[in-house]
Amino acid sequence: MKKRMIFATGNQGKMKEIREILADTEYEVVSMKEAGVDAEIIEDGTTFEENAVIKAKAIMELTGELTLADDSGLEIDALNKEPGVYSARYMGEDTPYPVKNQKILDRMEGVPEKERTARFVCVIAAAFPDGQIRTSRGTMEGIIGYEIKGENGFGYDPIFFLPELGRYSAELCSEEKNRLSHRGEALRKIKDIL
């Protein structure tokens, strides 16, 4: 019988991705809802690592079960690594992404191409019932483009340009994105730790 593990997210897209990546392990992954946990966790850390650990630990302590949690965001070098851990909250949680993305393009106006470097970061924390904590980090490097482009993905994907591919992240299909993404990399690394 497979061992059970909770993935602390309410996001169905993330659940699908983690189930696919962990399919060949001894773990069955369940969402917080499936585990019967309903908790509002305050993510007041200042790094992706801190926030991922806060979430994983809180749910592990509530359930006593092995719990994974992730935290992710976009770091733009020319903007002092903003929006960083505040990516979801940038300009307010309810502000639509076309508005957030346009604001970033405006702030990047005049910044030359070689200084437009940015990356998506994802940190996954695993909180074990014996109190042990492990983390893994994945990144996807690119630059902030000059327009909003592409229909796929979510969040900041339409302004994130991948120079090697000559395409915006929102122009990748989900298989390509999973293969290249910060989240895919962090998930594969945590799989090796488990």
Nearer to ligand IMP, 1 or 138 (CB): 138
Q: What is the distance between the alpha carbons of residues 172 and 152, in angstroms, rounded to a whole number?
A: 7
Closest CA to 187 of 119, 141, 137: 137
Closest CA to 144 of 166, 178, 123, 115: 115
**Backbone phi, psi, residue 127, to 5°:** -110, 115
The alpha carbon dihedral of 175, 176, 179, 182 has a sign of negative
Q: Is 44 a catalytic residue?
A: no
Among 31, 67, 87, 136, binds ligand IMP (CB under 6 A): 87
Nearer to ligand IMP, 35 or 124 (CB): 124
Asked if residue 183 belongs to a known ligand binding site, the reply is yes
Q: Is 165 in the site for ligand IMP (CB under 6 A)?
A: no
> Do you find a cis peptide bond into 112, omega within 30 degrees of 0?
no
Number of residues that bind ligand IMP (CB under 6 A): 14
* Amino acid identity for residue 111 in this structure: V
Q: Which of 44, 71, 106, 192 is catalytic?
A: 71
Q: Is 72 in the site for ligand IMP (CB under 6 A)?
A: yes
Smallest gap from residue 188 Cβ to ligand IMP (A) = 15
Smallest gap from residue 76 Cβ to ligand IMP (A) = 12
Interface ranges with ligand IMP (CB under 6 A): 70-74, 87-88, 120, 153-157, 181
